[in-house]
Structure 1
Amino acid sequence: MARYVNTSASARVDTRAYERGLRRYLGRMSNDVRRAVERTAVDVQNEARRRAPVDTGRLRSSIVHRMENRGRSVSYSVGTNVNYAAAVEFGTAPHVIVPKNRKALYWPGAAHPVAKVNHPGTAARPFLRPAIELTEQFFRKNLSQIRGR
């Protein structure tokens, strides 16, 4: 006849030290990720500036980045406050230009004042979207440089 012996074992593991170490490690990695995102934002900003068409330089110099931190989440945006930036980025459809404050339009070299001008529109010259599309490439490069130190 088989005899069953009741055997048991117990152990107590103090996980507080492990949890503290894990929090420190994740916090450090989080700071590394945060730095990589910030460097990525600067890279995207610089790429957008490089791609921006230049006439006076106002559009190029107005391109900036902004970081947003929400707890463990970090994001960035790159943009400009120049009112004609969207027209450069996306182009314009054909449109009519009429005077706002006068009865006619006139510019140096025009044969005579005119009541309206049929503008053919402008082609898009994207500078922000192509720069933002490089985000993943910049992020991987920046994260590997930070971790590789």
Structure 2
Amino acid sequence: MRAEARTTINTRAYERGLRRWFGRMSDDVARAVERTRIDVQNEARRRAPVDTGRLRSSIVSRAEGGGRSLGYVIGTNVNYAAAVEYGTAPHVIKPKYKQALYWPGAAHPVAKVNHPGTAARPFLRPAIAMTEIFWRAHASQIGRR
């Protein structure tokens, strides 16, 4: 005498369930990346030195990638942003279109100015360094609704 037991597993239902699960996870991960991107952008704006506000308001970010590779880019199109972020070395300023430089309050026109350079005032790099902190806060919410 033989004993047998048979069963059938509905793999289609299982696969549909997995797709729903991973689809939901993907949405949650994308949402966590998006929130991290916004937090880093806001942190860079918060850290940006303000004179006129132009630099601060120019800081933007955008999502990049898709599928299983999500990320973002953060930056500014203001031409002096790199000089603020990294500082400048001492340098000579010479006139481009005239024979001399003059500004209100100067005693007289001059042929050149020895600029002492400026100290770095990083705002992007410290904000980007906080990515992991923001990511952990948002990633801990993945799968929780």
TM above 0.5: yes
Q: Which residue in the other structure is 2:49 paired with?
A: 53
Deviation at 1:136, TM superposition (A): 0.9
Deviation at 1:126, TM superposition (A): 0.2
1:41 and 2:37 correspond: yes
Q: Which residue in the other structure is 2:102 paired with?
A: 106
CA RMSD of aligned residues (A): 2.0
Percent identity over paired residues: 75
Find the aligned partners of 2:135 and 2:39 in 1 and give their Cα distance.
9
Among 61, 86, 89, the alignment partner of 1:90 is 86
1:131 and 2:127 correspond: yes
Among 9, 20, 40, the alignment partner of 1:24 is 20
1:108 and 1:134, CA in 2 relative to 1: closer, same or farther beyond 3 A? same
Secondary structure, in 3 states, of the residue corresponding to 1:114?
coil
1:11 and 1:101, CA in 2 relative to 1: closer, same or farther beyond 3 A? same
87-96 or 12-21: which moved more?
A: 12-21
Secondary structure, in 3 states, of the residue corresponding to 1:113?
coil
1:118 and 2:114 correspond: yes
Unmatched 5+ residue regions in structure 1?
1-5
Aligned length: 145
Q: Does structure 1 retain, via aligned residues, the 8 Å contact 2:92–2:113?
A: yes
1:14 and 2:14 correspond: no
Q: Does structure 1 retain, via aligned residues, the 8 Å contact 2:92–2:112?
A: yes
After the TM superposition, list the runs of 4 or more consecutive aligned residues in structure 1 that deviate by more than 6 angstroms: 6-10
Unmatched 5+ residue regions in structure 2?
none
Q: Which residue in the other structure is 1:79 paired with?
A: 75
Find the aligned partners of 2:22 and 2:52 in 1 and give their Cα distance.
46
- Give, as a single letter, the amino acid of the residue that structure 1 aligns with 2:38: V
15-24 or 53-62: which moved more?
A: 15-24
Find the aligned partners of 1:40 and 1:78 in 2 and give their Cα distance.
11
Deviation at 1:70, TM superposition (A): 2.3
